[in-house]
Amino acid sequence: MTESRIADGMRIDFDVPVEMDDGLVLRADVFRPVEDGQYPVLMTMGPYAKGLAFQEGWKFNWDRLVAAWPEVAEGSTNKYQNWETVDPEKWVPDGYVCLRVDSRGAGRSPGLLDPWSARETQDLYECIEWAAVRPWSNGKVGLSGISYYAMNQWHVAALQPPHLTAMLVQEGASDYYREFARHGGILSGFLNSWYRGLHTTVQHGLGERSARSRVTGEPVAGPETLTEEDLVANRVDVYGEVRARPLVDQHYRDRTADLGKVVTPFLSTANWGGQGLHPRGNIEGFLAAASEQKWLEIHGDTHSSPFYTNYGVAMQKRFFGHFLKGEDTGWDKQPRVALRVRHPGEVFVDRAENEWPLARTRWTRYHLNPNDMSLGTGPASGPSLSYQATGDGLLFRSAALAEQTELTGPVAARLVLSSDTTDADVFCCLVVFDENGQEVTFQGSNDPRTPIGLGWLRASHRKLDAQRTLPHRPYHTHDDPQPLTPGEPVTLDIEIWPTCLVVPAGYRIGLMVRGRDYDNGAEALPGAKYPLRGIGPFTHNDPVDRPAEIFGGTATLHFEPDQESYLLLPVIPE
């Protein structure tokens, strides 16, 4: 049943029915100004339960967010805070309608839970068009949100809903295979922990077993309470699907946005520290989308904070004020690319740019030297080096930098490798060391102690797409496995996700070539849902995907004179 009330300066309608073309009814919460009128709509549709408070469902994240940024909690009762969506108390007073829809099979909406499916994308399309013709709408609909609520923006925009006017895509992947399910062909464990920990805990039908809304008192995943058997039948086995599908197929293509059909004006905002999930998607989305009006912003800090801080909210209001309200917000002067350039100590300096990658980049090869385990600008040859194929691998370090050096852009590595089995997984970690030889880590979006760059590749997935590969961004097809012949070297071109750091003079740059995930051995933080050892939840250790008889042997790097191994870095001149 729909409930309406006036509270906290807003007119709020809970559980408004939104009927889809197949007759299924989704449920939405509408936050709008008390005075009747027609207002632009800011909308999200997703699976995290619109009635579940940020502070309860994600207490660890909320507590850290407001401790670091007290401004987030200021100016609001915070009763309506919801994970990765806007706070309506900070938008409705400015003349916006905030609309939250529980996606099919989640929260208060019944149906089959099937994330990023074509059906779910069609639902989002219909919700946009439904919102556009409500009496309280001015016909202009904007999409805004983090992560899931960003990823499905790419999908629905490719369908070109007539009333979709603008999108703010905050830290959202655009390639389901390469950025979410399988990094370099290696299964990401994040999908399993995410689905079990965040998705099925608010599946529709948990009903009385779910948390209750702190505002309405109703079960956030109700109103009906289903049996466990019915719940299982009403959801797709997301992790099982990708575990069983090592190659790109229609399953992945159906869940990957057709960026060439995205024409909606948008702002794509990425995080330097989001290695393992989002920054690649935001950047690739910016580059590949057909939109004539598109902007890229890249920041640091945690996954949530840049969206909720005064900096983030002010940027969002300039963007949406321009496109949804026709206001003179100064957005017409916004640089096409806005970078918060990272320095050690979590210091960021804002800088306007015109393009990505930066046109003035000096693409610099740092060659791996096996004789002294160094990285240098001259080619090197020498003896081969072996390491345990599921172990910590090898570390190559540059000399101390004579001057401050900025690295901003995509990174790539070329390695010549053999295995004593038919395959090997390679993990490349870009790291820096201070004057005392201590590794320096950085606040990541999902981990407080991350390296500056990560890349992955399954050797049998080394085939490149010749048309889409660039020297600084190898692009693998992941559709034609090429097993190794034991002992026979092959050349691997490995994509390391884009990064940014101004490296001080006296520091050293390092490349770890490992057989398993980066691990700095740090202790887990109290209340965290997973270990925080530099990669957050983005692990790659599934024994089914990495059977010991294939991936547990010995890998060898080769350094013959005609076999270059190097790290390609984006050096930005001062």
Distance CA 225, CA 232 (A): 13
Question: Same domain, yes or no, for 210 and 282?
Answer: yes
CB-based contacts of 344, cutoff 8 Å, min separation 6: 432, 434, 440, 442, 501, 504
Is 454 in a helix, a strand, or coil?
A: strand
Does the model's pTM come out above 0.75?
Answer: yes
Question: Same domain, yes or no, for 388 and 268?
Answer: no
How far from 144 is each of 73, 80, 152, 340, CA to CA, in Å?
Answer: 19, 16, 10, 21
Out of 286, 306, 328, pick the residue that ends a domain.
328
Distance CA 146, CA 85 (A): 7
Distance CA 382, CA 209 (A): 63
Distance CA 531, CA 281 (A): 24
Question: Same domain, yes or no, for 255 and 377?
Answer: no
What is the b/e burial string over 396-408, where b = at least 16 CB atoms within 10 angstroms of the residue's CB?
Answer: bbbeeeeeebbbb
- Residue-number span of the structural domain to which 544 is assigned: 362-572
Q: What is the pLDDT along the chain (574 residues), one digit of tens a residue?
A: 788 999 999 999 999 999 999 999 999 999 999 999 999 999 999 999 999 999 999 999 999 999 999 999 999 999 999 999 999 999 999 999 999 999 999 999 999 999 999 999 999 999 999 999 999 999 999 999 999 999 999 999 999 999 999 999 999 999 999 999 999 999 999 989 888 877 789 999 999 999 999 999 999 999 999 999 999 999 999 999 999 999 999 999 999 999 999 999 999 999 999 999 999 999 999 999 999 999 999 999 999 999 999 999 999 999 999 999 999 999 999 999 999 999 999 999 999 999 999 999 999 999 999 999 999 988 889 999 999 999 999 999 999 999 999 999 999 999 999 999 999 999 999 999 999 999 999 999 989 999 999 999 999 999 999 999 999 999 999 999 999 999 999 999 999 999 999 999 999 999 999 999 999 888 777 777 778 889 989 999 999 999 999 999 999 999 998 888 999 999 999 8
Q: What values do phi and psi take at 508, rounded to 5?
A: -125, 145
Q: What values do phi and psi take at 511, rounded to 5?
A: -125, 120
Q: What angle do CA 289, 412, 408 make, to 5 degrees?
A: 70
Question: Same domain, yes or no, for 271 and 366?
Answer: no
Residue 272 maps to which CATH number?
3.40.50.1820
Q: What angle do CA 212, 218, 222 make, to 5 degrees?
A: 90
Q: How far is CA 329 from the centre of its chain?
A: 28
Taken as a whole, the chain contains a residue count of 574
Residue 164, amino acid: L
Question: Same domain, yes or no, for 293 and 391?
Answer: no
Output the six-digit token pair for 411.
Answer: 């990174």
Q: What is the DSSP letter of 68?
A: H
Q: What's the helix, strand, coil split of the chain in %, to 5?
A: 25, 30, 45
Question: Same domain, yes or no, for 377 and 237?
Answer: no
Question: Same domain, yes or no, for 405 and 512?
Answer: yes
368 in any annotated domain: yes
32 in any annotated domain: no
| Total number of domains in the chain | 2
Q: What is the DSSP letter of 199?
A: I
Distance CA 313, CA 452 (A): 27
Distance CA 106, CA 26 (A): 9
